[in-house]
Amino acid sequence: MDNRPIIDIEHASVFQHENLILSDVNLRIGTGEFVYLIGKTGSGKSSLLKVLYGELPARDGKVMVADFDLTRLKRKDIPLLRRRIGIVFQDFQLLYDRSVEANLEFVLCATGWKSGIKNRIDEVLDKVGLRDKRTSMPHQLSGGEQQGIAIARALLNEPAIILADEPTGNLDPDTTIDVMRLLRRISENGQSVFMATHNYTLMQKYPSRVARCNNGTIECSTMEGAVEMSMKY
């Protein structure tokens, strides 16, 4: 595996407005790594993810994401950052007034694609096993299929990393496993995945390194300590 870090954070703080949420954050995620982000509700998981995709400012320390220095990130450069990051949310955030294909086309056009759009849509739908759903409307899809389309959307610009905020939170257990297998496969193919979750059973089934929001900072496990840390939480 290429050990070049996709995320490299040293001695950083995370703020919501003027409220300090996390301090002295140190975290490194390499190419193709799968890392869980855990912690109690309100412990800072979503706030940390928002810093990583430019929704909240990185004020201090070192915060590098996909070769972007977020402490120096200008607002006009946030779209460039987000082309290097795929974001998956718990509630899918699809456009429900248009088809799957139109949802994906909207993102490609918004990020500057001029040609090859149909082929790229086919490629990402193949990756998530949903090419036969390209003409469907979101309301015609199951929850798992909608999340699969959301993951396909996150893959459109070949991001260096997927940031997934509780991506299985609204799904039944069988569908959760399907989505988890898909995210693990993405990681195995060389794209990093940083996934916030409350599902420690899932973590035991698919053990990996863990970053835990606790007592206002981040605690990181080794691969060997991942299950133990998930059980503590």
Query: Which pLDDT tens digit goes with each residue over 162-198?
Result: 999 999 988 899 999 999 999 999 999 999 999 999 9
Percentage of the chain beyond pLDDT 70 is 94
DSSP letter assigned to residue 226: H
Judge whether residue 230 has pLDDT over 70: no
Q: What is the arithmetic mean of pLDDT over 23-38?
A: 96
Residue by residue, DSSP assigns 54-121 as TSS---SSEEEETTEEGGG--GGGHHHHHHSEEEEETT----TTS-HHHHHHHHHHHTT--S-HHHHH
pLDDT for the residue numbered 225:
52
**Bridge partners (DSSP) listed for residue 29:** 7
Judge whether residue 80 has pLDDT over 60: yes
pLDDT for the residue numbered 232:
54
Q: What is the arithmetic mean of pLDDT over 51-76?
A: 95
Q: Domain 1-84+161-233, what fold?
A: Rossmann fold (3.40.50)
pLDDT for the residue numbered 228:
56
Judge whether residue 89 has pLDDT over 70: yes
Judge whether residue 124 has pLDDT over 90: yes
Q: In the chain, where does the domain assigned CATH 3.40.50.300 lie? A: 1-84+161-233
Judge whether residue 223 has pLDDT over 80: no
Half-sphere exposure of 217 (CA within 13 A, CB side): 11
Average pLDDT over the chain, rounded to whole? 91
CA separation, residue 11 to residues 17, 22, 39, 45, 95 (Å): 19, 10, 19, 17, 38
* Res. 1 pLDDT band, cuts 50 70 90: very low
Judge whether residue 56 has pLDDT over 60: yes
Q: Of the given ranges (46-50, 114-118, 135-139, 227-231), which has the lowest mean pLDDT?
A: 227-231
